Structure 1
Amino acid sequence: MPMSKIVVLFTLFHVVCLHSGIMLGNADGGGARKPYIVYMGELPEDRSSASLSGIHHTLLSDVIGDEIIAKNSKIHSYGRSFNGFVARLLPHEAELLSGKEGIVSVFPSKKRKLLTTRSWDFIGMPVNVRRNLQSESNIIIGLLDTGVWPDSPSFNDEGFGPPPAKWNGKCVKGVNFTGCNNKLIGAQPFDLANSVPQNETTPLDTDGHGTHTASTAAGISVKHASLYGIAKGTARGGAPSARIASYKVCWGSGCEDMDILAAYDAAIADGVDVVSVSLGGITLNYLEDSVAIGSFHAMEKGILTVCAGGNSGPYLWTVQNVAPWILTVAASSIDRKFVTDVKLGNGKMLTGTSLNTFSPKKRLYPLINGARARNTSSSVTGNYSACDYETLLASKVKGKIVYCQGSGGNVVVDALGAIGTIMSDDTFEDTMFINDDPLSYVSTKDGLKIDKYINSTRSPQGVIYKSRTTKTTAPFVASFSSRGPQDLSHHILKRYENRQIQHNIRNFNGLPSCFGSAAYVKSFRPKWSPAAIKSALMTTAKAMKGTPLGAELSSGSGNVNPTAALHPGLIYDIDTEAYISFLCKEGYNNSAISLITGNKKYNCANVPRGKGDDGLNYPSVYMQLKKNQTDISAVFYRTVTNVGDRKTVYKAKVESPKGLSITVIPDILKFDENNEKKAFKVSLRGRFLDNETWYLSGSLEWSDSKHNVRSPILVYRETNN
């Protein structure tokens, strides 16, 4: 499958998202209208498309004051799974609309960016893992991403029967798209902004991100898979018998909010069981966030949304997709590492990182650095040591391996005819790169050795070897993975080339692994709610050691263990009513919640908000203090449901750090029936003992003779970091 010619980030692709406004004159002949999403909540009882479209047009006409402009302004009406529309508006028109009866929120449609074979073995799902094949084949996973590459062997439908009867979706034809089958049952492009010419609109994935996510989550087993001989093995998804429905919402210019909502509107009505959204953006008010809105209505229909937490680590306050009804995923390592050795003409061997698929044809090649290849023209102002654009002469670079300080020089030297690049940068220790020519990243220290060698001889030489696979300590959270806390709800802990290639490599478990795991659990527990599946995955996860930047703020509940999640023992369930209670507690008004729920008489004053500080039955306990606060005092109430043995007794085991006392009452839970519920409370008391400490990390684990149900406990004190 075609990949980008420039460097590809092998952990999760990044796409630069540029806003492309659409111009439409206002009634006075001036100004630029921009797309605004008008969210109106639950579908009304009369939900015919003609009726909804008429209501939407009337609202637009009232605020714009011109029938023709109102008609031309509307881009799309949502109406299959929730109510709303998107239209090109002026700011004052958007403000007028927001005050109209029946409107929950009005917000600009913004661009979002993308976030993204050994991994399944590493997390305990070997090829022969027990499966419920009949049920798994009835699971439909929906992916909001860059589209799909239908010719991938991961989507071969040999042995598959027709799509499940519940499937209501479609397969849209498009440029170079060969169509769907009984494995890849749906593919639809969404481009309401017309960011590409209409005759080029296609469900085809030309980026690779969507195909990677789909194949990792639900691709069939493909034996002898490798990337030019590297990482040989069987490529497979977490739920290989599940069906795939692709919703292309990301194009060259990014992923538009209005397309994301259109895809959600379709996916929910189409009959998908789990939704993957590997997209991110600025954390917003829940009712002005396309992913939060779409995933809420999915949750109402029993559909779990799995989202990436972001690629803005290792900094705090960077986690995205934080709504509590979403399963938010961080990026963590597996126990595999790719190393790319470099040998100098003096015999010295250095170890770098990259994914170099080329085997050298000669023992050594000419080697040069930026200083020796420098363009001495007086008009050149860049850094030649870093191989900046126009700082090097092609005549000195062509046919040689070039050493560049820092990152990015490979793009320049490739264009000048170099046969390979060595770069030095200490910030890429957990990132894998692929390039059109041999490439290796070495440490800054080793880069100095290379520079010294080049400057010590008249004819320096070197060679970059093909990458090899080694074992490494795992798991650990990738440095680029976004960290908490998040600033919307302070009681919710969120963590989380031009050559044709058929198999790609990601060295970090992230969204696809959790997404596939959720589908795997769903195949055995089809009646479980989204919150129940989320709870099972969280409470059975393998705890990870904290990093210098915040323990559970980076690793959350830990590394997913899908086979253990089939039998969690206890679950923390949350229904729609509880989420509404949560929104009431968060300050959303009665009118907005009435529209969201479809209950015109909804009153937050009558909604039970829970007895604890957070008011939500979440599978973790999180408390956030202001910067100068030292004393800790809080009570959290939780209810667990027994999904294990009928007669069983669980005992509480608490781990607490110095300065924090954790008390569980009662600390013994006795169950006599399956699906029986028991309530308990967790009391936190203590204080931060010094000014340098900014988090206290502990845990609660309920154990019987078979199950260990673990919840992280974190007290965070705001910091300037």
Structure 2
Amino acid sequence: MVRICMLTLFLLAMQFHWSYTHGSSDTIRKAYIVYMGKAPQSKSSAIDLHHNLLSSVVKNENVVSVFPSKMRKLHTTRSWDFLGMPQSVKRNHQIESNIIVGVLDTGIYIDAPSFDHKGFGPPPSKWKGTCQVGGNFTSCNNKVIGARFYNHGAPTSNPNPSPLDDEGHGSHTSSTIAGVTVAGASLYGLAKGTARGGVPSARIAVYKVCWVDGCSDIDLLAGFDDAISDGVDLISISIGGYSDSYFDDSISIGAFHAMKKGILTTCSAGNDGPSLYTVGNTAPWILTVGASGMDRQFRTLVKVGKGIQTYGFSINTFSPKRRLYPLTSAAKSANANLTLGHSPWLCDEGSLDANKVKGKIVLCKEGLIQDYVKPLGVSGAIVSLDQQQDTGFTFIIPAAFVDTNFGDKIDTYVNSTKNPQAVIYKSRAVRNAASPFVASFSSRGPNILSSTVIKPDITAPGIDILAAYSKLASVTGDLEDNRFGVYNIISGTSMACPHVTASAAYIKTFHPRWSPAAIKSALMTTASELKIKDVQAELAYGAGQIDPVRAVDPGLIYDLSEVDYIRFLCNEGYSGTALRFFTEGNTNCSSIPNIGGHDALNYPSMYLQLNNPNTSISAIFHRIVKNVGSKKAIYKATVKAPANLKVTVVPKELAFSHLNEKKSFAVVIKGPPLKNITSVSASLEWSDAKHKVRSPILIFLAN
């Protein structure tokens, strides 16, 4: 077995990090060189640098790839019920107990109740991993069966590094996937209920690749390498970053090698929305997850004076100790020495007069530096924002976000009243009838590395998620915060990703032999559209919101193998040495047969990107589906499209006589240029009366 990167040697004289692989005696040793330095500015310059380094530094045919090591970042009770997976959902408990999920993150706080191993037997016999103890991390258990840490690329100041989670992020994601059922979980009374993962009987293996400064490519590759070798069934990564190509992206490379071993990698899309071209982790062999909101939100009641009130956004655990507090605004309390050009409204370093804000609630606009205002003795903060807000934020003081209109009312009240007063109440859960909806922060497509694949692929709950946490980190992670607990409420695509990982694991308990692409297809084609105001909806939610129970029986699947992805890479312009990043050998693109049509990938979604507003819409998508539903079935095609877009499916009917039978079809799309709009959406649905297999279709005019 060829491994991605096991042992790291530091070539100090050359300022390289060299990670190489090893395997059995009959396996060629391969090497990945990950060096610390400035990243190439383009794909062509990266390839030139790659060749130069190969020829001048290593001159070794066993070296597979050279790329700069970059630092990547973490993509920071009700959700499973919301997704239609109550505690009573049908399960294959014995098979689920043999599922091992590898989580590459900040480690784990194993003493959290979510990781209790009571009732668990020994690890599955396929497990080949280890428990790397150190510092205050003394052992694993039959729930968390493996733990490793890596700090080659991101040195830590901790004198005793270990897999112990001192940030909380890794514990949160791990428990969302496979945390055991715990009654009475909450964050200081908020979200009180039963906390559980999507596959509570599954095992967890953690790979601590992230530290306070981020997550380095070296450590990510090493984590992938060990996870694959250890015997995990799925890999979950709520980490992101941007790369110039697939071959200098450690997550892309690691996920490809995992795919070759039958392991699906699920990744978060990023938190840089709602702007377009912000989605990360876009390789087609990765299941890329955006964040959505569910039917429960946390809102914070803010009352000002007499009769002025609103429900702001925050996760506020503080209850007021008095009926009303004095109120002021940042502008009225500005520091007399405020420098020219420095806005008094931002409530940032040096902007406020401590004597004017002590004991008062302060109205700020567009900004708040908590570490600055808390020592001033403020009683709270109301932050007026001129932007869409759909998620709460945990503050170290009583605080809430409000919209600009309400903020302006407060400002008028402060300036027209002798003794203005206000109060901020503890947050409470409210019902949101607009769910599911795409989170405003969730990163959007298009995929900047490929113009043929819609990303993200799918969405899952990522707003206000209660899950396990670490007692080594405060609720906010701020040193000024004295609240610590084993549960926390966090929002982000980091929280959405583990929901999809767990859903994939759930499917795998019913279909152990399904490929990563088959599981991905099942989740995508059974997903439902979301409510969104954006025109480019599919660039926000992909195929839609996951439905794990429906995905167990999708009817038809779009399957893919390694050769299909190699064909895709060939079509994207990768060849020769660059392909060795993925194939570990010499691959001649001319030997890979092309299936024709607009794209060369049997993907569950269909995407055409235009670069000229005068170009007419014209594309043919060739697809192959496999019958995994009823033994005998006839599927009929239904197309939903606007009047000016002609979508033809050939043939319109697919008749299957047995399971695992494959049928091919083509989708022909014609339409006028996109002169006054930036996109047009359609969909194809195959149905046999029992199953509905939906594929989104998007035509997008690039900038």
Q: Same fold (TM over 0.5)?
A: yes
Matches within 5 A, 1:224-303: 224-303=184-263
- What do residues 303-322 of structure 1 show as CA deviations (whole Å, max 9, x unaligned)? 00001111111111111111
What secondary structure, in the 3-state scheme, does the structure 2 residue paired with 1:527 have?
A: coil
Instruction: Give the unaligned 5+ runs of structure 1.
Output: 1-41, 61-67
Contact 2:301–2:312 at 8 Å: present in 1 too?
Answer: yes
Match of 1:618 in 2: 603
How many angstroms apart in 2 are the aligned matches of 1:484 and 1:381?
36
Of the three residues 475, 478, 488, the one matched with 2:436 is 475
Matches within 5 A, 1:227-626: 227-377=187-337, 382-427=342-387, 429-472=389-432, 473-495=434-456, 496=458, 497=476, 498-506=482-490, 510-593=496-579, 596-600=582-586, 602-626=587-611
Match of 2:652 in 1: 667
RMSD (CA atoms): 2.5
1:697 matches 2:656: no
Alpha-carbon distance, 1:102 to partner: 4.3
How many angstroms apart in 2 are the aligned matches of 1:430 and 1:274?
31
1:110 matches 2:70: yes
Match of 2:53 in 1: 97
- What do residues 497-547 of structure 1 show as CA deviations (whole Å, max 9, x unaligned)? 331122222456621211111111111111000000000000000122453
CA 1:355–1:599 in structure 2 vs 1: closer, same or farther (change >3 Å)? closer
Alpha-carbon distance, 1:660 to partner: 1.1
Alpha-carbon distance, 1:343 to partner: 1.4
Contact 2:543–2:696 at 8 Å: present in 1 too?
Answer: yes
TM-score computed with the length of structure 2 as normaliser = 0.89
CA 1:426–1:125 in structure 2 vs 1: closer, same or farther (change >3 Å)? farther
Contact 1:635–1:682 at 8 Å: present in 2 too?
Answer: yes
Alpha-carbon distance, 1:678 to partner: 0.8
CA 1:110–1:323 in structure 2 vs 1: closer, same or farther (change >3 Å)? same
Contact 1:401–1:422 at 8 Å: present in 2 too?
Answer: yes
The aligned amino acid for 1:716 is: F
Contact 1:74–1:85 at 8 Å: present in 2 too?
Answer: no
How many angstroms apart in 1 are the aligned matches of 2:34 and 2:616?
50
The aligned amino acid for 1:710 is: R
Contact 1:275–1:303 at 8 Å: present in 2 too?
Answer: yes
Match of 1:187 in 2: 147
Contact 2:5–2:19 at 8 Å: present in 1 too?
Answer: no
1:707 matches 2:697: no
Match of 2:43 in 1: none
How many angstroms apart in 1 are the aligned matches of 2:581 and 2:528?
40
Of the three residues 6, 10, 31, the one matched with 1:84 is 31
How many angstroms apart in 2 are the aligned matches of 1:372 and 1:89?
49
CA 1:93–1:661 in structure 2 vs 1: closer, same or farther (change >3 Å)? closer
Contact 1:386–1:405 at 8 Å: present in 2 too?
Answer: yes
The aligned amino acid for 1:717 is: L
What secondary structure, in the 3-state scheme, does the structure 2 residue paired with 1:675 have?
A: coil
Contact 2:338–2:351 at 8 Å: present in 1 too?
Answer: no
Of the three residues 655, 660, 683, the one matched with 2:668 is 683
How many angstroms apart in 2 are the aligned matches of 1:378 and 1:566?
61
Contact 2:605–2:697 at 8 Å: present in 1 too?
Answer: yes
Instruction: Give the unaligned 5+ runs of structure 2.
Output: 39-47, 459-475, 477-481
The aligned amino acid for 1:528 is: W
What secondary structure, in the 3-state scheme, does the structure 1 residue paired with 2:438 have?
A: coil
What secondary structure, in the 3-state scheme, does the structure 2 residue paired with 1:662 have?
A: strand
Contact 2:163–2:208 at 8 Å: present in 1 too?
Answer: yes
What secondary structure, in the 3-state scheme, does the structure 2 residue paired with 1:175 have?
A: coil
How many angstroms apart in 1 are the aligned matches of 2:195 and 2:338?
53
CA 1:612–1:705 in structure 2 vs 1: closer, same or farther (change >3 Å)? same
Alpha-carbon distance, 1:382 to partner: 3.2
How many angstroms apart in 2 are the aligned matches of 1:397 and 1:595?
58
Match of 1:15 in 2: none
Alpha-carbon distance, 1:646 to partner: 0.5
Tell me the percent identity. 51
CA 1:597–1:438 in structure 2 vs 1: closer, same or farther (change >3 Å)? same
- What do residues 180-199 of structure 1 show as CA deviations (whole Å, max 9, x unaligned)? 11111111111103511462
1:208 matches 2:163: no
Of the three residues 43, 60, 68, the one matched with 2:2 is 43
What secondary structure, in the 3-state scheme, does the structure 1 residue paired with 2:683 have?
A: strand
Of the three residues 119, 125, 141, the one matched with 2:85 is 125
Contact 2:614–2:675 at 8 Å: present in 1 too?
Answer: no
Match of 2:635 in 1: 650
1:171 matches 2:131: yes
Match of 2:180 in 1: 220
TM-score computed with the length of structure 1 as normaliser = 0.87
What secondary structure, in the 3-state scheme, does the structure 1 residue paired with 2:242 have?
A: coil
Alpha-carbon distance, 1:328 to partner: 0.5
Alpha-carbon distance, 1:73 to partner: 5.3
CA 1:220–1:395 in structure 2 vs 1: closer, same or farther (change >3 Å)? same
Alpha-carbon distance, 1:413 to partner: 1.8
Greater displacement, 515-524 / 76-85: 76-85
Contact 1:662–1:684 at 8 Å: present in 2 too?
Answer: yes
Contact 1:546–1:555 at 8 Å: present in 2 too?
Answer: no
What secondary structure, in the 3-state scheme, does the structure 2 residue paired with 1:705 have?
A: coil
Alpha-carbon distance, 1:592 to partner: 4.2
How many angstroms apart in 1 are the aligned matches of 2:401 and 2:336?
27
- What do residues 460-501 of structure 1 show as CA deviations (whole Å, max 9, x unaligned)? 221111111111111111111111111322111112533112
Matched length: 660
How many angstroms apart in 2 are the aligned matches of 1:507 and 1:641?
37
